[in-house]
Amino acid sequence: MKLLFAGGGTAGHINPALAIAGYIREKEPDTQILYIGAKGGMEERLVPEAGFRFKSIEISGFQRKPSWNNLKKNVKTAVRILTASREARRILLDFAPDLCVGTGGYVSGPVIRDAIRMGIPSVIHEQNAYPGITNQMLSKKADRTMLAVPDAQKYLSKKADCVLTGNPVRQEILRADRAEARRALGLDSRPLILSFGGSLGARTINEAMETLLLSSAKNQKYQHIHGYGQYGRWLPQALKEKGLDPAKAKNIVLKEYIRNMPECLAAADLVICRAGAITLSELQARGRASILIPSPNVAENHQYHNAMALVRRRAALMIEEKNLTGEALCKKVEKVFALPGGTKEIGANAEKMAIIDANERIYRIIREILARRA
């Protein structure tokens, strides 16, 4: 079997593709896999590191805010789309895949579109509750549109052949043991609040967390592990200047980047984070209560829609960034722990949404389509 994957731009598009490809390689080791990504994108590093062949095409997205500078960029983008299509066609002809998988991002557009035109079976995977523009267009002609959450279907064409598969979740997330994790992290019986704003960090989250951490240092009600990210390196010093030395605080751990996320997530009672699709799937898989702060700086405001998919099912609480303050976050945390069912009820509702066999579902769909085309 020869499979071609296309997707990129953000880890939210790349990691699902790598998870699916890795699972198929385990099931069928002889499968030949090629990944097409954007030139200069993070996939150029991540895909070869995962052990897969990689080819790049030059592609970029349209700028949506009207300005003279953006108009010039959009002219270049239009030209790149034409050249990207030619590059994609050459790679498709050379590799001759049995099936193509698109996981979103601008790069998947020309690849999957040309694959469909060439009669190559093609499926797409949508990670978010509000589909990206690329997947909205491709869903009209793709053999199958695989959804992470059912909410996404209402935004797609009636022609789309949709099926619910969920998002692939790392096995390490599923296997981590809560009791062992809490012992390894040196935690006591107090609740653990895990918080992060992504690898780069989010200034608004760090500013709000500063207030919460100062409060917790004083009342000692909670234990904290907070990842402040690359752009949050100011936070430890800011806390020191206000009388809290993180290195000496027994209930607070600050890290630039949380590398042991499976362990931390297993140990946590409440998670404060953005609303990226893969993060939410991991929260659901572990049945964790959360306070979600959707990033407003993403395409189609999809993180807000992701968060609302949980909020509507009482599986999370949300604070929109425009309303985020330290005081608001402290009040929301107290509200969660004061609920009759506390974090357990919210976590149980989140777990009801979990789909932990996404890789197997996707593998079966690929095999089904190949058998149908044989």
- Contact 120/373 with Cβ under 8 angstroms? no
pLDDT at 62: 44
**pLDDT tens column, 2-12:** 999 999 888 88
Average pLDDT, the chain: 91
Same-domain status, 181 and 147? no
Q: What is the pLDDT of residue 287?
A: 97
C-alpha–C-alpha distance, residues 128 and 150, integer Å:
10
* pLDDT tens, residue by residue, 9-62: 888 899 899 999 999 999 999 999 999 999 888 899 999 999 999 999 986 554
Q: What total of structural domains would you count in the chain?
A: 2
Q: Summarize pLDDT for 215-267 with one digit per residue, the tens.
A: 999 999 999 999 999 889 999 999 999 999 988 898 999 999 998 999 999 99
Q: What are 58-108's pLDDT values in tens digits?
A: 865 544 555 545 444 444 544 555 578 889 999 999 999 999 999 998 899
Judgement on whether residues 186 and 323 belong to the same structural domain of the protein:
yes
How big is the chain, counted in residues? 374
Same domain, 348 and 364: no
User: Do 48 and 162 fall within a single domain?
Assistant: yes
More confident residue, 212 or 77: 212
Instruction: Return the pLDDT at 2.
Output: 98
Verify that 221 and 340 share a domain, yes or no.
yes
Whether residue 21 is found in the same domain as residue 161: yes
Judge if 367 and 308 occupy the same domain.
Answer: no
Nearest in space to 138 (alpha carbons), one of 168, 100, 174, 165? 100
Residue 118 shares a structural domain with residue 179: no
Q: How many CB atoms lie within 10 A of CB 94?
A: 9
What pLDDT score does 198 carry?
79
Interacting residues of 90 by C-beta distance below 8 A, sequence separation 6+: none
What is d(CA 148, CA 356) in angstroms, rounded to the nearest whole number?
Answer: 11
Q: How confident is the model at residue 373 (pLDDT cuts 50, 70, 90)?
A: confident
**DSSP SS3 for 366:** helix
pTM above 0.75, yes or no: yes
**What is the model's pLDDT at position 78?**
46
User: Strand 122-126 vs strand 162-164: parallel, antiparallel, or unpaired?
Assistant: unpaired
Domain that holds residue 232: 172-352
Measuring CA to CA, which residue among 77, 96, 94 is closest to residue 38?
77
Q: Say whether both 362 and 337 belong to one domain.
A: no
- 289 and 219 part of one domain: yes
Same domain? For 176 and 143 the reply is no
% residues pLDDT > 90 (the chain): 80
The CATH number for 116's domain is 3.40.50.2000
Give the per-residue pLDDT at 84: 81
Say what the pLDDT of residue 292 is: 98
Q: Looking at the structure, tell me whether residues 153 and 224 fall in a common domain.
A: no
Chain centroid to CA 249: 32
% the chain with pLDDT above 70: 94
